[in-house]
C-alpha cells in the first residue's frame, strides 16, 4: 500500500467542511501518518492534541504527551530540502545559546523524518510562553530586543550540503522593482473597471505612491547596499521573515523565538522594518517616540551601523504597506474593489498623513550610529544552491564565491543531494551553485557527460541545419559516360595507315607541304582532301575517359526523380554559375570546372570552338580532374564539393 501524500485540504466542498474550522482540522490520513512518524522516535505517545493547521499549505502542529514529557510534533509544509535548511538553522542557533525550542533526534540520530512527501520534526514544548503587549512601548522594546538577540545568534550559519538554500539578501532591488511594476498594474486595473466602487479612489492615490516608490528607489540605488551584501550571507545571518507578537513570546530568560520554518538569509533589519510599519498601520499614525524606542532596543542587542540604519530608513519610506494591502486587486479586481478596497485606502491614506514628517526627523538620527567597514570584501561560501538573480536571466550576483580548487588536485568528485532528494554527482570543476533548483541540465543528470549543455544544444541545432540543407540542395548522381561511337568510313575513303617506325627512330611532325621521304625515316601519310575526309562529330563536353572504363560526371538532378538517361542531362553552364549568390561561390564553381586536355594526336576528335554550345565552359565538367586519379581521390573531390558552403548559396 502506497503511503499517503500530504496535500492542502482547503478545497473541501461545502458539505464536507460544514461545521468545521479548517484551521483546527486535519484529514484522518494525516493524523494516522503522524502516529506512524512518532514510532521513529524513542518515546511512548500518551496523547496527541492538534494545536493549529495550515489547510491551504498542508502543514500542522500537535502537542504530544510522552513518557519524556510534553513535546511538539510538526509537519513542515515546504519541500523537504527547503525545510531541512530551517531545521539546520534551528539546530545551529540552539547551539549558539538562542532561546529556541531544541530539536529531538530520532532513534537513528537524525533531526527529522520524511513522510507523506513532507518533513516532520519533534521539538521541546515550552509551557510558560506568553505574548508581550503589542501597542505598549515597553512590550515592543522587549520584543525587538529579543529579535536583535536572535539575529546575532544566527550569524555564521552555513546550511548542510543536502539542504536547499533559502536567501533573500540579494533580492532587495528586484523586490522594489516588482512593487513599482505592480503599482502600474493597479492603474490599468482601475481603468479597466471604472464602474467598480473603489476604482476612482484607487486612481486618485496611485500617483502619490508611485512617485514615492521612484524617489525612494533612487535613494536605495545610491546607498551602500551593494557593498553590504558582498560581506556574504553568514556575516548577516538569518531573518525570521514572520516575526511578531505570536512568534516571539516571553518565556524563561527572555523572548523565545518559535516557528522558524520560514527563516532565510537576509539583511536582519527587514524583520525590524516589518514590525515598525505594520504597527504604525495598526495605530493609524506614525509615532516617532515609539519608532526610536524599538530601534534603540534592537541596537542594544545587535548593534547597527550608519549604513544599516540608512537602509532601514529607506525600507520604511518605501510604500510597502500600501502594496501589501492593495495587491489582492490583481487576483479578484471587481469583488475586491467593490467590497474591501475602499476602507483599506481610507486607513492607508490616513496613516500617510504624518509619515514623512516622522521620517524626516528620524533621518537626523543617522549621525548617532558609527560608520560600517565595508572596504574588505569577504565572499560568501559556496553552497549547492548559490543564489542567482532570475530577473537577470540567471546571472551570478556579485559577491558569490568563485570556484576554488580542492586540496590535493582538481579531480575530486562530490556528491550533493538535490531538493527532490536525488543525488547529484558534481564533476571536477563544477561549482555546486551551478545546480539549479527543480531544473537540472544534462550535465547534472549525467555526471559523465563531457560537453556543456549549451554545446549539446548547438550541435543538435547544427545537425538540424545540415539535414535541412540536404533537402534543399540539388541531388547529384554519378552517371556513366559512354565513349563516343566513331562514324564508320567506307573502305574506299579510308586513309592508309603509315607504317610504324622502328623503336629507335622517332618520326617528327610532317610539314604542310608534301616532302620526299628521308632515309631511314618512315614514309609520310598521304593527306586526304577535305571532300574525302570522314565527317566530324560533335564531341560532348566530357571528362577524359580512362582505359577500358567509362568516366563519370556529376550531373544535377531534381530531388526524388527516376534515373535520368544521358540524352536528357542538362550540363552545367556559365548561366548556372552566375545564378550562385556570392562571388566566392562562383569562383569555387569555376575552379571545379577543370578543362580536359587532349590525350594524343587525334586533333580531329576535338570539338570546334565555333560549334561549342553557347554558355558552356570550354571542355570542363564536374567529373574527376584527370583519368589518372584513383577512385578514392575522385570520391573525396566530389565530397568536398557537396560540403562546400559557398556552393550551397544558390538562388532558385
User: pLDDT tens, 179-199?
Assistant: 999 999 999 999 999 999 999
pLDDT of residue 68 exceeding 70, the answer is yes
Quickly state the pLDDT bin for 588 (edges 50, 70, 90). confident
Predicted pLDDT of residue 436: 45
Phi, psi angles (nearest 5°) of residue 555: -120, 125
Phi, psi angles (nearest 5°) of residue 642: -65, -30
Closest CA relative to residue 263, chosen from 278, 243, 249, 234: 243
Domains of the chain with bracketed CATH: 1-125 (3.30.200.20), 412-472 (no CATH), 551-557+569-593+615-652 (no CATH)
pLDDT of residue 26 exceeding 50, the answer is yes
Closest CA relative to residue 123, chosen from 53, 41, 44: 41
pLDDT of residue 384 exceeding 70, the answer is no
List b or e across 196-234, with b for residues whose CB sees 16 or more CB atoms inside 10 angstroms: bebbebbeebbeebbebbeebbeebeebbbeebbbbbbb
pLDDT of residue 260 exceeding 70, the answer is yes
Predicted pLDDT of residue 555: 45
Predicted pLDDT of residue 577: 76
Name the strand (E) or helix (H) holding 577.
helix 574-578
Average pLDDT over residues 280-285: 92
Give this prediction's pTM: 0.60
User: Helix, strand, coil % (nearest 5) of the chain?
Assistant: 40, 15, 45
Which ranges of 246-305 does DSSP label H, i.e. alpha helix? Answer: 269-283, 288-301
Q: Parallel, antiparallel, or unpaired: how do β-strands 69-76 and 118-124 relate?
A: antiparallel
Average pLDDT over residues 58-76: 94
pLDDT of residue 318 exceeding 50, the answer is yes
Closest CA relative to residue 623, chosen from 538, 567, 568, 549: 549
Q: Find residue 130's DSSP bridge partners.
A: 250
Q: Parallel, antiparallel, or unpaired: how do β-strands 118-124 and 113-115 relate?
A: antiparallel
d(CA 116, CA 3): 6
Predicted pLDDT of residue 23: 85
Phi, psi angles (nearest 5°) of residue 64: -115, 135
Taking only the tens place, the pLDDT of each residue in 97-123 is: 999 999 999 999 999 999 999 999 999
Q: Which residue has the higher pLDDT, 449 or 204?
A: 204
d(CA 46, CA 180): 54
Taking only the tens place, the pLDDT of each residue in 198-209 is: 999 999 999 999
Closest CA relative to residue 647, chosen from 585, 578, 573, 581: 585
> How many angstroms separate the first and last alpha carbons of the chain?
67
Q: Nearest-5° angle of CA 314, CA 317, CA 322?
A: 135
Taking only the tens place, the pLDDT of each residue in 504-559 is: 445 445 445 444 445 445 445 545 444 444 445 444 444 444 444 444 444 444 44
Predicted pLDDT of residue 5: 92
Predicted pLDDT of residue 644: 58
pLDDT of residue 246 exceeding 50, the answer is yes
Predicted pLDDT of residue 420: 52
Taking only the tens place, the pLDDT of each residue in 143-164 is: 999 999 999 999 999 999 889 8
Quickly state the pLDDT bin for 135 (edges 50, 70, 90). confident
Q: Nearest-5° angle of CA 474, CA 479, CA 481?
A: 140
Give a three-class secondary structure readout of 52-92.
EEECCCCEEEEEEEECCEEEEEEEECCCHHHHHHHHHHHHH
Count CB neighbours of 36 within 10 A: 14
By percentage, how much of the chain surpasses pLDDT 90? 52
Taking only the tens place, the pLDDT of each residue in 396-436 is: 444 444 434 434 444 455 555 555 555 555 555 555 544 44
Name the strand (E) or helix (H) holding 632.
helix 631-643
Predicted pLDDT of residue 621: 45
pLDDT of residue 607 exceeding 50, the answer is no
Taking only the tens place, the pLDDT of each residue in 589-606 is: 777 665 545 555 444 444
Predicted pLDDT of residue 151: 97
CA atoms within 13 A on the CB side of 166: 23
Amino acid at each position: 500500500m502506497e503511503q499517503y501524500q500530504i496535500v492542502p485540504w482547503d478545497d473541501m466542498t461545502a458539505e464536507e467542511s460544514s461545521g468545521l474550522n479548517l484551521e483546527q482540522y486535519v484529514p484522518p490520513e494525516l493524523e494516522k501518518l503522524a502516529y506512524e512518524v512518532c514510532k521513529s522516535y524513542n518515546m511512548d505517545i500518551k496523547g496527541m492534541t492538534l494545536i493549529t493547521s495550515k489547510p491551504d499549505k498542508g502543514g500542522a502542529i500537535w502537542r504530544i504527551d510522552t513518557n519524556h514529557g510534553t513535546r511538539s510534533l510538526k509537519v513542515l509544509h515546504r519541500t523537504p530540502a527547503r525545510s531541512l535548511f530551517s531545521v539546520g538553522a534551528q539546530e545551529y542557533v540552539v547551539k549558539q545559546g538562542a532561546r529556541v525550542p531544541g530539536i529531538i533526534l530520532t532513534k537513528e540520530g537524525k533531526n527529522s523524518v520524511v513522510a507523506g512527501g513532507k518533513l516532520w520534526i519533534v521539538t521541546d514544548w515550552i509551557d510558560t510562553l506568553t505574548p508581550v503587549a503589542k501597542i505598549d512601548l515597553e512590550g515592543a522594546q522587549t520584543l525587538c530586543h529579543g529579535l536583535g538577540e536572535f539575529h546575532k545568534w544566527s550569524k555564521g550559519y552555513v546550511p548542510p550540503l543536502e539542504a536547499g538554500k533559502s536567501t533573500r539578501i540579494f533580492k532587495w532591488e528586484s523586490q522594489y522593482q516588482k512593487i513599482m511594476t505592480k503599482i502600474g498594474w493597479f492603474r490599468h486595473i482601475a481603468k479597466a473597471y471604472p464602474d467598480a466602487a473603489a476604482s476612482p479612489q484607487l486612481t486618485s492615490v496611485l500617483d502619490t505612491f508611485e512617485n514615492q516608490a521612484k524617489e525612494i528607489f533612487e535613494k536605495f540605488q545610491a546607498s551602500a547596499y551593494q557593498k553590504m551584501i558582498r560581506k556574504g550571507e553568514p556575516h548577516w545571518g538569518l531573518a525570521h521573515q514572520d516575526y511578531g507578537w505570536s512568534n516571539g513570546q516571553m518565556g524563561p530568560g527572555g523572548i523565545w523565538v518559535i516557528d522558524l520554518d520560514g527563516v532565510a538569509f537576509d539583511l536582519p533589519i527587514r524583520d525590524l522594518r516589518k514590525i515598525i510599519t505594520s504597527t504604525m498601520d495598526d495605530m493609524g499614525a506614525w509615532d516617532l517616540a515609539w519608532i526610536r524606542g524599538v530601534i534603540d532596543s534592537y541596537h542594544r542587542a545587535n548593534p547597527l551601523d550608519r549604513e544599516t540604519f540608512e537602509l532601514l530608513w529607506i525600507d520604511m519610506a518605501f510604500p510597502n504597506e500600501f502594496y501589501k494591502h492593495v495587491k489582492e486587486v490583481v487576483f479578484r479586481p471587481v469583488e475586491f474593489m467593490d467590497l474591501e478596497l475602499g476602507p483599506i485606502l481610507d486607513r492607508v491614506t490616513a496613516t500617510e498623513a504624518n509619515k514623512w514628517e516622522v521620517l524626516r526627523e528620524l533621518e537626523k538620527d543617522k549621525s548617532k550610529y558609527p560608520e560600517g567597514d565595508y572596504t574588505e570584501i569577504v565572499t560568501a561560501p559556496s553552497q549547492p544552491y548559490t543564489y542567482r538573480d532570475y530577473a537577470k536571466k540567471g546571472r551570478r550576483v556579485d559577491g558569490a564565491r568563485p570556484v576554488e580548487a580542492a586540496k590535493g588536485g582538481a579531480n575530486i568528485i562530490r556528491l550533493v543531494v538535490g531538493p527532490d532528494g536525488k543525488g547529484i554527482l558534481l564533476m571536477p570543476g563544477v561549482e555546486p551553485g551551478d545546480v539549479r533548483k527543480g531544473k537540472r541540465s544534462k550535465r547534472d543528470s549525467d555526471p559523465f557527460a563531457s560537453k556543456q549543455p549549451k554545446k549539446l544544444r548547438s550541435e543538435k541545432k547544427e545537425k538540424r541545419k545540415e539535414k535541412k540543407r540536404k533537402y534543399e540542395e540539388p541531388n547529384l548522381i554519378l552517371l556513366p559516360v559512354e565513349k563516343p561511337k566513331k562514324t564508320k568510313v567506307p573502305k574506299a575513303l579510308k586513309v592508309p595507315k603509315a607504317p610504324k617506325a622502328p623503336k629507335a627512330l622517332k618520326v617528327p611532325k610532317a610539314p604542310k607541304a608534301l616532302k620526299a621521304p628521308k632515309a631511314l625515316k618512315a614514309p609520310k601519310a598521304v593527306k586526304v582532301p577535305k571532300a574525302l575526309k570522314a565527317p566530324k562529330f560533335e564531341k560532348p563536353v566530357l571528362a577524359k575517359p580512362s582505359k577500358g572504363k567509362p568516366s563519370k560526371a556529376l550531373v544535377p538532378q531534381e530531388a526524388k526523380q527516376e534515373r535520368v538517361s544521358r540524352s536528357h542531362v542538362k550540363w552545367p553552364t556559365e548561366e548556372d554559375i552566375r545564378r550562385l549568390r556570392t562571388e566566392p561561390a562562383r569562383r569555387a564553381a569555376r575552379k571545379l570546372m577543370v578543362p580536359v586536355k587532349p590525350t594524343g594526336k587525334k586533333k580531329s576528335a576535338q570539338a570546334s570552338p565555333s560549334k561549342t554550345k553557347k554558355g558552356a565552359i570550354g571542355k570542363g565538367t564536374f567529373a574527376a580532374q584527370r583519368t589518372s586519379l584513383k577512385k578514392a581521390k575522385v570520391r573525396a573531390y566530389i565530397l568536398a564539393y557537396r560540403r562546400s558552403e559557398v556552393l550551397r548559396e544558390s538562388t532558385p
